[in-house]
Amino acid sequence: METTVTIGAPSAKQRQFLECRCKYVAFGGARGGGKSWAVRTKAKLLALRWPGIRLLILRRTLPEVESNHLRFLRPELQGVAEYRAAERQFRFLNGSVLEFGYCACDGDLDRYQGAEYDVLFIDEATQFKEEWLRRLTASVRGVNPFPKRIYYTCNPGGPGHGYIKRLFIQRRYEPGEAAEDYAFIPARVTDNTALLRSQPDYLRQLQALPPKLRKAWLEGQWDLFEGQVFQEFTDDPDHYADRRFTHVIEPFSIPRSWNVYRSYDFGYAKPFSVGWWAVDHDGVVYRIAELYGCTETPDEGVRWSPDRQFEAIRKLEQEHPDLKGRDIFGVADPAIWDASRGESIYETALKYRVYFTRGDNRRIPGWMQMHYRMAFDGDGYPRLYVFKNCRAFIRTVPALLFSPSEPEDVDTRQEDHAADESRYFCMSRPITPPRAGEDERLRPFS
């Protein structure tokens, strides 16, 4: 018996999404691009095309599952698939199963442990933690002829922003990730003619947003998003060479006349972070190298002892061409001087001839010093640069969100270790905030 389902006319971008056969496909980038419709339609088509296939659609919360998907699909699939409310799944006449789930906290991941799906849809994927996104992909497996794919819909912002941005916008891949497996299909509200016809005010609502939020939600810019702490930070490969309007640049050989500093944040179960900074004659700072003790799981430490950490630091400083043979000035969190449980971490560092002074760990002033250095002057130059090989900083610092309880502070539940040691360094060389129309590149505190 042949089954027919009417899906309606997709937009040009929605059609690209429906036709794409890459293993990993991300769709969206701005509000109102018709992402949820595309997810529902793609799921229906796969269920009908491949009898017996198993599909899972995830949202962050159960109410979102209901309001964005189930209330539409129940009437659309009537007579085509049986909806079983207890299992939150549609069972098609051809044996295919379309299931729905949510992941609001770490514990919700357990319900997908050991489960097998052929295709996974993660709707509003940037609202999921990177760790969740990585672990959920492990459920896409099985020995059968069905396609194995993962579809993401996304807007800039949220806990998974940095992960989605790296894979689909920056296209920076780690070992085991193949560029040809990933496709990004950008869509804006202006691509969604159906929405504009039914809700013409929506475009005006987006246009009326504050400038930075408008750039993220209307224009789909991934350098800015709601709640982002360091909205100044820009990673623009087109400007790596001239160093204007970007903070990330190509590495270069550091002149011997520049001073070099080391900043350190201890970690064991959580990552430890070390950054090396060069300071030019104008006081502009460059993060030239880093050592980040993180496993393949975000925000999980490699559990190195202090001895092993300082041994690695010493080794890198003896071998790195821009570090070896230099007197390096170190700054660290004052907590490493704590000797209440025996030898302090600072005393361990001394055994490896790795020296530190006590850093100023005031949080709000430290973040402000980073803001001041990231700010662009009238010619488009910042006072803080990051070599493109410093991946921990580039991955974690731009993704930091404000604390919900301390408006000017960073939410400490995030992966903030590279940011912490960076503010220790910036507080060791504080500068005054830039003033409108000021020509001076740098004004250190007296």
Residue 4 resides in a domain: no
Quick one: 323 and 401 in the same domain? yes
With beta carbons less than 8 A apart as the criterion, state whether 173 and 167 touch.
Answer: yes
Is 43 a residue whose pLDDT tops 90? yes
Residue 248 resides in a domain: yes
Q: How many CB atoms lie within 10 A of CB 366?
A: 23
With beta carbons less than 8 A apart as the criterion, state whether 82 and 90 touch.
Answer: yes
Q: What pLDDT is stored for residue 12 in this prediction?
A: 86
- Give the whole-angstrom CA distance, residue 46 versus residue 65: 19
Token pair 């579809």 is found at 151
Q: Which two tokens stand for residue 281?
A: 């004659």
Quick one: 208 and 259 in the same domain? no
pLDDT-based confidence at residue 440 (cuts at 50, 70, 90): very low
Residue 435 resides in a domain: no
Q: What pLDDT is stored for residue 443 in this prediction?
A: 42
Q: CA torsion sign, 61 to 64 to 69 to 75?
A: positive
Arithmetic mean of pLDDT, 330-341: 95
Q: Which residues lie across from 170 on neighbouring strands?
A: none
Q: For residue 221, what is the DSSP state?
A: -
Quick one: 129 and 24 in the same domain? yes
Encode pLDDT of 111-137 as tens digits. Answer: 898 899 999 999 999 889 888 999 999
- Give the whole-angstrom CA distance, residue 215 versus residue 351: 51
Is 446 a residue whose pLDDT tops 60? no
Q: Which two tokens stand for residue 250?
A: 């190509």
Encode pLDDT of 77-114 as tens digits. Answer: 998 999 999 999 999 999 999 999 999 988 999 889 88
Residue 337 resides in a domain: yes
The H or E element spanning position 205 is: helix 201-207
Encode pLDDT of 282-310 as tens digits. Answer: 999 999 999 999 998 889 999 999 999 99
Quick one: 209 and 298 in the same domain? no
Residue 341 resides in a domain: yes
Is 64 a residue whose pLDDT tops 60? yes
Token pair 């500093």 is found at 261
Q: What pLDDT is stored for residue 182 in this prediction?
A: 97
Q: For residue 298, what is the DSSP state?
A: T
Q: For position 324, which CATH number holds?
A: 3.30.420.280
Q: Where are the alpha helices (DSSP H) in 232-344?
A: 306-319
Q: What pLDDT is stored for residue 172 in this prediction?
A: 86
Is 210 a residue whose pLDDT tops 70? no
Quick one: 255 and 143 in the same domain? no
Quick one: 91 and 25 in the same domain? yes
pLDDT-based confidence at residue 20 (cuts at 50, 70, 90): very high
Name the average pLDDT for the chain.
88
Arithmetic mean of pLDDT, 182-202: 72
Each as own residue / partner, the long-range contacts of residues 406-409 (CB below 8 Å, 24 or more positions apart, any chain) are 408/364, 408/367, 409/363, 409/364, 409/367
Q: Which two tokens stand for residue 434?
A: 């830039």
Q: For position 193, which CATH number holds?
A: 3.40.50.300
Quick one: 177 and 100 in the same domain? yes
Instruction: Catalogue the E-assigned strands of 135-247.
Output: 149-154, 182-187
- Specify the 3-state DSSP secondary structure of 365: helix
Would you mind telling me the total number of residues written for the chain in this entry?
A: 446
- Specify the 3-state DSSP secondary structure of 137: helix
pTM of the model: 0.68
Residue 112 resides in a domain: yes
Q: Which residues lie across from 98 on neighbouring strands?
A: 55, 90
Is 207 a residue whose pLDDT tops 80? no
Q: What pLDDT is stored for residue 437 in this prediction?
A: 46
Quick one: 321 and 246 in the same domain? yes
Measured in Å, how far apart are the chain's first and last C-alpha atoms? 83
With beta carbons less than 8 A apart as the criterion, state whether 28 and 60 touch.
Answer: no
Closest CA to 27 of 128, 139, 122, 166: 122
Q: What pLDDT is stored for residue 273 in this prediction?
A: 98
- Give the whole-angstrom CA distance, residue 123 versus residue 17: 14
Q: Which domain holds residue 327?
A: 237-428
Q: For residue 253, what is the DSSP state?
A: P
Q: Where are the alpha helices (DSSP H) in 320-376?
A: 345-351, 363-374
Q: Which two tokens stand for residue 54?
A: 């198993």
Cα dihedral: 414, 418, 419, 425 (round 10): 160
Give one DSSP letter per residue of 91-118, joined into a string. Answer: EETTS-EEEEEE--SGGGGGGGTT--BS
Quick one: 261 and 386 in the same domain? yes
Q: Are β-strands 54-59 and 119-122 bridged in parallel, bridged antiparallel, or unpaired?
A: parallel
Residue 434 resides in a domain: no
Quick one: 197 and 261 in the same domain? no
- Give the whole-angstrom CA distance, residue 153 versus residue 134: 15
Number of domains in the chain: 2
Quick one: 197 and 278 in the same domain? no
User: What are the angstrom distances between the C-alpha of 47 and each of 4, 56, 91, 98, 123?
Assistant: 12, 11, 9, 7, 18
Q: What pLDDT is stored for residue 215 in this prediction?
A: 61
Quick one: 197 and 288 in the same domain? no
pLDDT-based confidence at residue 204 (cuts at 50, 70, 90): low
Report, in angstroms and rounded to the nearest whole number, the Rg of the chain calculated over CA atoms.
25
Residue 227 resides in a domain: no
Q: Are β-strands 89-92 and 81-84 bridged in parallel, bridged antiparallel, or unpaired?
A: antiparallel
Token pair 């821009």 is found at 322
Say which residue, 440 or 92, is predicted with more confidence.
Answer: 92
